[in-house]
Amino acid sequence: MTDTLDIKITKTTHSRLQETDFTNLVFGRTFSDHMLVADYADGEWKNFEIVPYGEIAFSPAISALHYGQAFFEGIKAYKHADGQVSVFRPDKNAARFNKSAERLCMAELPEDLFVQSIAALVDLDRDWIPTEAGHSLYIRPFMFATDPYLGVSPSTTYKFMVLTGPVGPYFTKPLRVKFETHYTRAAEGGFGYAKAAGNYGGSMLPFKKAAEEGFDQLIWTDAKEHLYVEEMGAANVMFVLDGTLVTPSTRDTILDGVTRDTVLTLAKSWGMPVEERRVSIAEVVEGAKNGTLTDAFGAGTAATIAPVGSLNYNGEEYTLSDPLTREFSQKVLKTLDDIRYGKTTDTFGWNYIV
């Protein structure tokens, strides 16, 4: 059942739109004029408000800061040539939002409230959506615990917020990637499948070390043996091996990506064989050696389709084909863009029109 959400709107008296440089967007640095805030207390969500983007106050004792009761989502909105605005598959993010909430013992948010909150905010700041190719409005919903209490127990109050900001392409060149065989992102029984803040804090040192070794990204491997592929940075990873689209199956160590699902759905609709299963480093390396690995890319909302240029395993480097010559990922990119920017029929019903 859908209740219409009552959102109190306070508009900014000074829009920053005119002073914003849209030609030089750095991911996550530019914020639109407004943000959404809502509170959870006494067992219900209330006080949905859109206010000018800015600082907020809370107790320094909140468990989000001390024990990591915090998680987020990432979604994008696009402007079509006719001025229409669409958000890409927000229902999927709404469902995942609640999976994260459940795992972190936090309050769930009814899916229609999640989607309506985003739609209202995007609608108000629609002039912030860039129209250039590869550009979009990044939407960052998140939730955190707000009880002023240092005991290690679930908070009884939470804040739900949404920020938005214009973004350009995340990666602009093929990535030099290594298989990470020392550090672990997620273990069985853990919360790798949740978009929990702590998962990203823990990944920063491995990233920093990989960057110091000259890599753009790393591919996480299983916690037990470091022999199986899990994800690439904060994106899912997909390969075309011998004409089959192959990707690690989702489990509790893997984030169930919306982009991943989108690519799998497209591939199946084109009659391409698809396998979701355990993927070993060995078979990927073998494919890189004998030429049966014809495509490799990260798939995520922020990164979109990020081609892997080369793979490094234990110091051995394997250079892959020029991404521009890769049939599958090029077709996926083009089809995705055509759908998201409203250039073709949205056969799958993925665009939520604002």
Ligand X SMILES: *Cc1c(COP(=O)(O)O)cnc(C)c1O
Q: Which residues bind ligand X (CB under 6 A)?
A: 74, 195, 231, 234-236, 255, 257-260, 300-301
In the complex with ligand X, which residue's Cβ is closer, 50 or 232? 232
In the complex with ligand X, which residue's Cβ is closer, 146 or 259? 259
Q: Smallest distance, Å, CB 273 to ligand X? A: 22
- Here the tokens at position 39 are 């509170």
Nearest to 295 by CA among 316, 272, 278: 272
Q: Smallest distance, Å, CB 239 to ligand X? A: 15
Give per-residue burial for 238-254: e unless 16+ CB within 10 Å, then b: bbbbeeebbbbeeeebb
What length does the chain have?
354
SS3 37: strand
Query: Does residue 84 contact residue 353 with C-beta atoms inside 8 Å?
Result: yes
Q: Smallest distance, Å, CB 61 to ligand X? A: 28
In the complex with ligand X, which residue's Cβ is closer, 258 or 285? 258
Q: Smallest distance, Å, CB 76 to ligand X? A: 9
Q: Smallest distance, Å, CB 259 to ligand X? A: 3
Q: Where are the beta strands (DSSP E) in the chain?
A: 8-9, 34-41, 44-52, 70-72, 75-79, 85-88, 136-145, 158-167, 175-179, 217-221, 229-232, 236-241, 244-248, 274-277, 293-300, 304-313, 316-319, 351-353
Q: Smallest distance, Å, CB 300 to ligand X? A: 4
